Structure 1
Amino acid sequence: MVISGLLYGLLSAFAFGTADFLAGLSSRRIGSYTTLIYMQAVGLAVLSIYLFSSDEWHSIMNHGYMVMLAMIFMGIDLLGILCLYQGLAIGKVSIVAPIASSFAAITVILAIIFGETPSIITLIGIILTIIGVIIASLKLTEEPSSKSSRKGIMWAILASILLGVAFFGLKFPTSQMGAFSTVWIGRAQSIIALPLILRVFKQKPKRPQLADIGWISLVGIFDVIALISYNLGITTANTSVVVTITSLFAIVTMIWGIIVWKERIIWNQILGISTILIGILLINL
């Protein structure tokens, strides 16, 4: 069961990391908020085709209370993403990204508080993996800036808390309605809520050109794969284990940058990745 959870977590990490990298490409063309709202629409379309062709949508009709929980936790997830985007927009990536990537620690703490009991070796592996992700995400070669350090840091902390709570809570509706239905509910409400939320943030989505549709579609598809894989993972293994493996998405995004943009790998990234590998090995024991 743990091995299955690890595999789902790895698939989720790969899909999230790839989606984030592709979202970066799309955001350079049409902006991050436009990318966000249209990728949600793509995800909703893909999931709707599956749900209504497989009759799994009946699970939504039969679980009113769980539908409400799915709306709450998927809504918290959306708010976390918006806080992250806001932090990246006004702060420095080298500061905001590592703070936000620590959301897994919040999820692990909540999982343990609410009854999960990982072994000491597994817990050490979880801690090492989360620390490794944060170390690898840091950009130590950039010059420090007190002004940019202050900007965005509160948004990053808020994003980390919201995402941590969301990734913990998703196990409740997923266990009753299934992974696909839970994510579909989140995407459906996002299409309604996002335009209103973006008005509060004073962001006006642009209309994507035909050339942008491909990028947006890939982002939406990989993001859906990531969430579904995570939700399937937490039904087969402890949330604390799956979310820790899923948090490796930051490393996947970094690797895509090295492959595509020929970005230079620096010493702290090597140290972080090495720490992650040790952590995963301990989790798998």
Structure 2
Amino acid sequence: MITAVLGLLGALVYGSADFLGGLASRRISPLRVTAIGAVTGLAALLVALPFFGGVWSAAAIGWGVLSGVTGAIAISLLYACLAIGPMSILSPLTALISAIVPTTWGLLGGETFEPSGYVAIGIALVAVVLVGFVPEKGAVRPSLRGILMAIGSGAMIGAFLIIIDQTPDDSGLVPLVFNRGVNGAIMFAVVGVLAFVARRRGTTSQTPGWRPGLMLAVACGLVDTAANILLLVGIRLGDLTVMSVLTALYPAGTILLAAIVLKERVAPVQRVGLALAVSAAGMLAIA
């Protein structure tokens, strides 16, 4: 039951981070938001590390570094595929793949459930698609490039979940510290290269609203770090399969905040997805 609760809560927190990141990206570039969020998260983890503790081992550091690399690739592919669009198809495809990859890994690794648990996982996977589906008027069919990027992003998110599951139980927050450090280094390197190229081409421009964007990016980093901690604790207490499927429901948090803060309409299909998600979480808690 604890795992199901942490998984659903983690999804809502991840979705909240995406909401903040989306607002920040309207003011500064998505890559800058990601880089700032990574550094902010790293600072928060370094402050929390003495309180949570953790053994510094080669395994903890190695898996943490690898998770940082996969995370950076996943985010880059995600932004790229959503930029190509249509988001209504590519976003739920990414979330679905991010659930299927670690779920398959967990089941092949010997994780088992009661029959109702497998039914709940199936319901949750359907909910992932419905929750992430945002109807777009006149949406075009996705290109092969967009589909491949969405699949690649989902696979890398799934790989991140599998890698976090490999971290030693006594490592505490150590893997997340290296995850954030590597992720931030990669993203700042990318931002730096793009800024250098833009300056050489004479296309550098002042970004309006950078201060509000900076604050939102900082908030995004803090909230995303909290979600990572929930994910880490949930995986260590329970099953990778349950956590990966429920975490893939992260669009629910974004949808709810958008409805509350921005007064955006929640589509009927998304309401069905949210109801299925809660039902699946309850079934998994019992199973």
1:56 — aligned with what?
Answer: 53
Work out the number of aligned pairs and report it: 277
TM-score, length-scaled by structure 1: 0.89
- Identity over aligned residues, as a percent? 22
Partner residue, 1:248: 249
Contact kept? 1:95, 1:149, Cα under 8 Å: no
1:128 aligns with 2:123: yes
Partner residue in 2 for 1:262: 263
Query: Over residues 101-146 of structure 1, what are the superposed CA-to-partner deviations in whole Å (9 max), with x where a residue is unaligned?
Result: 1111211111111121122211110111121121121123422313
Pick aligned residue for 1:5 from 3, 6, 17: 3
Q: Which amino acid aligns with 1:127?
A: G
Residue 200 of structure 1 deviates from its aligned partner by 7.4
Q: Which runs of 5+ in 1 are unaligned?
A: none
| TM-score, length-scaled by structure 2 | 0.88
Q: Which amino acid aligns with 1:56?
A: G
- C-alpha change, 1:141 and 1:90, in structure 2 (3 Å) is closer
User: Partners in 2 of 1:31 and 1:196 — Cα distance?
Assistant: 14
Q: Per-residue CA shift, 1:156-193, capped at 9, x if unaligned?
A: 11001111121122111152412x21111111112222
Alignment partner, residue 221 of structure 2: 220
Unaligned ranges ≥5, structure 2: 199-203
The DSSP-based 3-state class of the residue aligned with 1:284 is helix
Match of 2:72 in 1: 78
* 2:178 aligned partner: 185
Cα root mean square deviation, aligned: 2.3
CA contact (8 A) 1:74 1:170 kept: no
Structure 1 partner of 2:44: 46
CA shift, 1:14, in A, is 1.9
Separation in structure 2 between the aligned mates of residue 181 and residue 142 of structure 1, nearest angstrom: 46
CA contact (8 A) 2:68 2:181 kept: no
**Contact 2:72–2:186 (CA under 8 A) maintained in structure 1:** no
SS in 2 for 1:251: helix
Whether 1:153 and 2:153 are equivalent positions in the alignment is no
Contact 1:90 1:152 in 2 (8 A): yes
Q: Residues 271 and 85 from structure 1, CA distance in 2 versus in 1: closer, same or farther, beyond 3 angstroms?
A: same
Q: Say which of 82, 93, 104 aligns to 1:99.
A: 93
Deviates more, 1:78-87 or 1:202-211: 202-211
Q: Which residue of 2 aligns with 1:165?
A: 159
Taking structure 1 as reference, are residues 199 and 132 closer, same or farther at Cα in structure 2, changes over 3 Å only?
A: same
- CA distance in 2: counterparts of 1:229 and 1:76, whole angstroms: 19
Query: Once the 2 structures are TM-superposed, how far is the Cα of residue 215 of structure 1 from its aligned partner?
Result: 0.9
Residue in 1 that maps onto 2:62: 68
CA contact (8 A) 2:131 2:249 kept: no
Taking a change above 3 Å as real, the CA distance of residues 69 and 91 of structure 1, as seen in their structure-2 partners, is same
* The one of 131, 140, 148 aligned to 2:135: 140
Separation in structure 2 between the aligned mates of residue 248 and residue 144 of structure 1, nearest angstrom = 23
